[in-house]
Amino acid sequence: MERAAGLKRVALSPREASDLEMTAVGALSPLTGFLCQRDYRSVIKEMRLDCGLVWALPVTLAVSEEQAAAIREGEEVALVDQSERLLGILEVAEKYRYDKETEVRACYGTTDPAHHGVAKVLEQGGVYLGGEVWLLDRPEPQFPAHHLDPAETRRAFADRGWKKVVGFQTRNPVHRAHEYIQKCALEICDGLLLHPLVGETKSDDIPADVRMQAYRVILEHYYPTDRTMLAVFPAAMRYAGPREAVWHAICRKNYGCTHFIVGRDHAGVGSYYGTYDAQRIFDRFGPGELGITPLCFEHTFFCRACGNMASSKTCPHGKENHVALSGTKVREMLYSGVVPPPEFSRPEVAQVLIDGLKVHAKA
């Protein structure tokens, strides 16, 4: 830290800061820093690191041309957050220009600046700094009780004797559709890691603190405590759809999961991706190549004729029997204090969301 005080400073975006922390704790293993050019190009083009291991998204640090000009390859720089707080050190192995259009087209499947993830790339500096990182000071965790590093979740799984653990990524509250697919997966596993993403998301996603309260409530009322674990995933959302699904899966392998749930339009936004693109992308990898098994689910709903949750795979009845609400509709109901039907949301969860969103609206 003393040495860092004398170094040039590079301010990280929230996404870069969470990538730094995640790299340091092993959540992005085998990465040990921001990508250098060979790996970067290979990831963009082949979805693999230069060594051949699958890696789906660039983990990069962008600076402006001016900043880059002042930094020599081989030099150490201090990494600070947006409020100038020291986070870590980067040993700059390489600085290199990159083509934004090539990157966003490959990773996001679009160059549309209205896409949240694309916009972030377009607005960042034009030069990447690659090299090993050291984390010196961790950002204060927002949810300390649930801020478990990969080594900690892996140990916890081992302590509980869980051999098959399914990870569930989410940036939304858990409604009955999510509960259903989690429980389908849990039936064939030993434990469930409910692993909500709490890094940066779009401003219209439900705030993480409200979601965390809703997760605690649904676990308390509807899940056995000895089969579930709630921990946060400190990544920022990129909304890169299929590629982010693969990236999410690899990260969860690092946290000790053996299985990973991929829903419809996983990590999607708007209508940039086909509903099942994020599932089909897993077909590109040989069995065992990822080290984690994707479990792919269709759209699910409560069917009044079945008398249970189902999907088009498991229910033969017409739509008139299905309780289905769009995400937008549910958000509207919750923001205006209306409890969705119990076939859609557990009432305890709905109440937490209504109360939590009220507090946020006032703030």
CB of residue 296 to its own copies, shortest distance in Å: 6
Question: Which of 315, 325, 334, 352 lies at the binding interface for its own copies (CB under 8 A)?
Answer: 315
Report the distance separating Cα 203 and Cα 188, nearest Å: 36
CB of residue 239 to its own copies, shortest distance in Å: 25
Task: Strands of the chain (E only): list them.
Answer: 9-11, 33-34, 62-63, 76-80, 86-91, 94-97, 127-135, 165-170, 191-196, 228-230, 259-262, 293-296, 300-303, 308-311, 322-323
Please name which of 69, 67, 62 lies closest in space to residue 103, comparing C-alpha atoms. 62
Question: How many CA atoms does the CB half-sphere of 182 hold within 13 Å?
Answer: 27
CB of residue 247 to its own copies, shortest distance in Å: 21
Q: Which is nearer to its own copies, 316 or 337 (CB)?
A: 316
Q: Which is nearer to its own copies, 224 or 270 (CB)?
A: 224
Size of site (CB under 8 A) for its own copies: 33
Catalytic residue among 138, 154, 172, 321: 172
Tell me if 86 sits within 8 A of 276, measured CB to CB: no
Catalytic residue among 171, 211, 252, 264: 171
Residue 89 burial (CB < 10 Å; 0-12/13-18/19+)?
Answer: buried
Residue 3 bears catalytic tag: no
Question: Which of 183, 216, 299, 358 lies at the binding interface for its own copies (CB under 8 A)?
Answer: 183
Q: Which is nearer to its own copies, 12 or 281 (CB)?
A: 281
Residue 227 bears catalytic tag: no
**312 binds its own copies per the rule CB under 8 A:** yes
Residue 296 burial (CB < 10 Å; 0-12/13-18/19+)?
Answer: middle
**362 binds its own copies per the rule CB under 8 A:** no
**308 binds its own copies per the rule CB under 8 A:** yes
Question: Which of 2, 66, 140, 187 lies at the binding interface for its own copies (CB under 8 A)?
Answer: 187
Q: Which is nearer to its own copies, 313 or 362 (CB)?
A: 313
**215 binds its own copies per the rule CB under 8 A:** no
Please name which of 220, 229, 224 lies closest in space to residue 252, comparing C-alpha atoms. 229
**321 binds its own copies per the rule CB under 8 A:** no
CB of residue 236 to its own copies, shortest distance in Å: 29
**310 binds its own copies per the rule CB under 8 A:** yes
Residue type for 339, please?
A: V
CB of residue 273 to its own copies, shortest distance in Å: 21
Question: Which of 35, 78, 185, 208 lies at the binding interface for its own copies (CB under 8 A)?
Answer: 185
Per-residue b or e along 299-338, where b marks 16 or more CB atoms closer than 10 Å to that residue's CB: bbbbbeeeeebbbeeebeeeeebbbebeeeebbebbeeee
Stretch that binds its own copies, among 25-33, 249-257, 307-315, 322-330 (CB under 8 A): 307-315
**306 binds its own copies per the rule CB under 8 A:** yes
Sheet holding 228-230, edge to edge: 228-230, 191-196, 165-170, 259-262, 293-296
Question: How many CA atoms does the CB half-sphere of 99 hold within 13 Å?
Answer: 8
Residues 222-261 contacting its own copies, CB under 8 A: 222-225, 227
Residue numbers at the binding site for its own copies (CB under 8 A): 180-181, 183-188, 221-225, 227, 287-288, 295-298, 300, 306-316, 342
